[in-house]
A and B are shown apart, each in its own frame.
Chain A
């Protein structure tokens, strides 16, 4: 029951955050802290890679929505990449797939968001 996060900054205003593990009521405060830190450090485009996320609950969704709001307020964006079938289904049944931009790969996300990796 762990959460591992790795971030890369391909350019000054873009960050790719790769998350591995379970995002739940225990680990989501850690994710929130990282998202807030990145936003405050001047990141405008946050690409969150969910391909290694095995579990996501309503608190995780809450943190992602909080992050989305934060980035869009700065005319940036928080986009999601590569969720597995189970994770994607959670977005679909809650209707949040219509609020987030969800892409298959980091390259797709970068191209659509107009950032270079």
Chain B
């Protein structure tokens, strides 16, 4: 791969729990194309898993999809996790887990977001009526 070139890999999965593992497996292969350490590859895998989980939890039983676009560049790996779950349609009552976490002083959605923040270098989340896009960037080591 030359300095300026970047390769793109796209994957579209149903926005359902049983497919999140499929996305993680694909990302494992994609992140392995970068000069990342084993731990860094695992970090990317978990961050993408959290982004997909966030989409799946908001989707509930509504039929939606997640499109994962990975751009393998010389300096960074950019992974966009885009769903078509409209913002504001998430269940209004928090799950039992979320309530338990809240009582333990932890916010569940915050936990997923916190993991993403720590595991990759940049996280940008854009929500709109069309859905949510989570952009995860992990820089290659110098």
Does A74 have its Cβ within 8 Å of any Cβ on chain B? no
- Tell me, in angstroms, the Cα distance from A55 to B28 when the chains sit together: 13
B56 neighbours in A (Cβ, 8 Å): 25
**Shortest distance between the CB of A76 and any CB in chain B (Å):** 16
Contact B106 A96 (CB under 8 A): yes
- Given A25-B17, A26-B21: A90 touches B115 (CB 8 Å cut-off): yes
Select which of B22, B39, B97 is within 8 A of A59 by beta carbon. Answer: B97
Does A107 have its Cβ within 8 Å of any Cβ on chain B? no
Contact A57 B53 (CB under 8 A): yes
Does A17 have its Cβ within 8 Å of any Cβ on chain B? no
A65 neighbours in B (Cβ, 8 Å): 97, 100-101, 104, 106
B53 and chain A: residue at smallest CB distance: A25
Comparing B42-50, B66-74, B134-142, the segment that makes contact with chain A is B42-50
Select which of A55, A58, A69, A86 is within 8 A of B115 by beta carbon. Answer: A58
B16 and chain A: residue at smallest CB distance: A26
A62 and chain B: residue at smallest CB distance: B97
Contact B104 A58 (CB under 8 A): no
How many chain B residues sit at the interface, stated as a range, is 20 to 34
CB interface residues, B 94-134, toward A, < 8 Å: 95-98, 100-101, 103-104, 106, 108, 111-112, 114-115, 118
A61 neighbours in B (Cβ, 8 Å): 101, 111
B3 neighbours in A (Cβ, 8 Å): none
**Shortest distance between the CB of B115 and any CB in chain A (Å):** 6
**Shortest distance between the CB of A55 and any CB in chain B (Å):** 8
CB interface residues, A 73-100, toward B, < 8 Å: 86, 90, 93-94, 96, 99
Does B82 have its Cβ within 8 Å of any Cβ on chain A? no
- Tell me, in angstroms, the Cα distance from A87 to B46 when the chains sit together: 11
Select which of B46, B96, B112 is within 8 A of A66 by beta carbon. Answer: B96
Residues of A that sit less than 8 Å from B by CB: 1, 22, 24-26, 32, 55, 57-59, 61-63, 65-66, 68-69, 86, 90, 93-94, 96, 99
Complex A-B: 17 CB contacts under 8 Å: A1-B18, A22-B21, A24-B17, A25-B17, A25-B20, A32-B97, A58-B111, A62-B95, A62-B97, A62-B108, A62-B111, A65-B106, A66-B100, A69-B104, A90-B115, A94-B111, A96-B106
